[in-house]
Structure 1
């Protein structure tokens, strides 16, 4: 295993949770092993008995790859926390099994982290959203100075999503911070947001960005993600449980876009007025939030997507290197 000359250990430990997706996780693991930063280890946590995935990963043959098969399924947060405990590196980089990295991702993030004035920098990056309609760079903007993280994540200033976001597969963080503040295992979804909101409130933590796109987020139809599961009641319960971590403006923004979007997709019109009242009572909605809320309910999703695709044609496309590692 290539190791750091300074401390005889990997500099970065990559943690990939997976379950029952052998071909997909092999693609992700190979993108991690192809990093220009050589002093790494890649830890794949197989979340429960899954011999097919273990066998597929064993074909890679790179000594930097470690595969740990758990005796039972504990969920993505538990799998990631297990990977952190097993990690030998100073830094942790998370990669979802159905995503990929560009070759310089870890090198660029380590550079930003080493130049940070914060004790615990949390370094993210832009990423490529790969869709059936093409590849697009997200987020469209980076956080402003002193902008609350909850507002960056949940408050929209335009009618199109992807304005402000942090994707799990771009997170790069000190192992010491993950040990102090592990992922909350009770959440099946939104756990990355909850963790980011918690750590961003700490004095010695700073959210930083590599401005270039360093990862590929696959949103093709047919790839099942927990984040794509449509359960608006779960999302509503989640934001209620984390209300102390978000601003009123962010609370209403989450209701107006994320919760209302899920409720409208299943046609649960009984939720229309209660959710609107939730945003008004506990949040601080702006006129654009009310417009977004009505848009989610009154304009069909396919029409919204067609309108968005017209605007996306003028957005910045991916660099040529992306096509070189495409499946």
Structure 2
């Protein structure tokens, strides 16, 4: 498994220890320290297990390139990712290896449900599996059903054939879309359909759940990314992507109405659904505070609120 880290000596130690506690013990741990970080190097030096290999980049190259370095070093059939501030549950590897073997093939991509643990809520995500034959872009971006549920693939649940990771490394410099971009590209090269293993297998320590905004980045980045990589999206996913990622940053810009008109025209160049249009209107005309209240109401209704 591959763990990129930088200046989080206590957290990365927790992450590594969660791997060492796996029910399946046939693995190697590749920690890539992405830049000079004596504290993390010292912290990891307290672990004497020979399966741990630590590489320090002289200069930071970003998480995507750190994962690529780990992928180039990997010797096993399977590669997995773990963020340095997350944890695996003990049966994570065993369950995903079992599913991968049942599926068969040389190019496999799996994820899993996970525990999204924040200060006020704890819930199991994603809330839905991929539909049969569903394109990765639609799973990631299209909101479906009365509760407008979309798919979610959290980095610490990735499980992929090492061969596939080495043939198709992540593209660096696409923050915050390095993971989305890789998932959409690599899923098209798999021998079997993308699968989400049921039951939580990791813990995502989401310390900013109340502040999480679907977009991140800026308008120009999101707009340019969607149009430069149009071939990665189905028409429906393209429309949803613009609604979810471009609309919030358009609202914050000084030329708000001009950019909202751009987004609306772009949405109609894809295949917008009624849910897509209501998503656009929600981001365009409702405040973040209002959307938070609605989201928190849904979370409480779904039984995700932590007990007192």
Asked if TM exceeds 0.5, the reply is yes
Provide the secondary structure at the position in 2 that maps to 1:206: coil
Gaps of 5+ in 2: none
The separation in 1 between residues aligned to 2:248 and 2:204, in whole angstroms, is 21
1:139 corresponds to: 126
Match of 1:210 among 192, 197, 201: 197
2:3 corresponds to: 16
Residues 267/100 of structure 1: CA separation in 2 closer, same or farther (3 Å cut)? farther
Residues 139/54 of structure 1: CA separation in 2 closer, same or farther (3 Å cut)? same
Provide the secondary structure at the position in 2 that maps to 1:132: coil
The separation in 2 between residues aligned to 1:36 and 1:316, in whole angstroms, is 30
71-80 or 159-168: which moved more? 159-168
1:172 corresponds to: 159
The separation in 2 between residues aligned to 1:159 and 1:302, in whole angstroms, is 22
1:102 corresponds to: 89
The separation in 2 between residues aligned to 1:180 and 1:112, in whole angstroms, is 22
The separation in 1 between residues aligned to 2:8 and 2:204, in whole angstroms, is 16
Match of 2:24 among 28, 33, 37: 37
1:191-270 paired onto structure 2 within 5 Å: 191-202=178-189, 204-221=191-208, 229-264=216-251, 269-270=256-257
Gaps of 5+ in 1: 1-13, 319-327
- TM-score normalized with structure 2 length: 0.90
Q: Per-residue deviation at 1:111?
A: 0.3
Residues 119 and 205, structure 1, Cα contact 8 Å, conserved in 2:
no
Residues 125 and 212, structure 1, Cα contact 8 Å, conserved in 2:
yes
What is the Cα-based RMSD across aligned positions, in Å? 2.5
The separation in 1 between residues aligned to 2:116 and 2:14, in whole angstroms, is 17
1:4 corresponds to: none
Residues 12 and 84, structure 2, Cα contact 8 Å, conserved in 1:
yes
The separation in 2 between residues aligned to 1:259 and 1:295, in whole angstroms, is 13
Q: Per-residue deviation at 1:169?
A: 1.1
| Cα deviation 1:236-283 (Å, max 9, x = unaligned) | 2222222101101100001111222344356762421111111112x1
2:176 corresponds to: 189
Q: Per-residue deviation at 1:185?
A: 2.1
- TM-score normalized with structure 1 length: 0.85
| Cα deviation 1:70-106 (Å, max 9, x = unaligned) | 1111111111010011112211000111211111111
Q: Per-residue deviation at 1:229?
A: 4.3
1:90 corresponds to: 77
Residues 11 and 85, structure 2, Cα contact 8 Å, conserved in 1:
yes
Residues 215 and 246, structure 2, Cα contact 8 Å, conserved in 1:
no
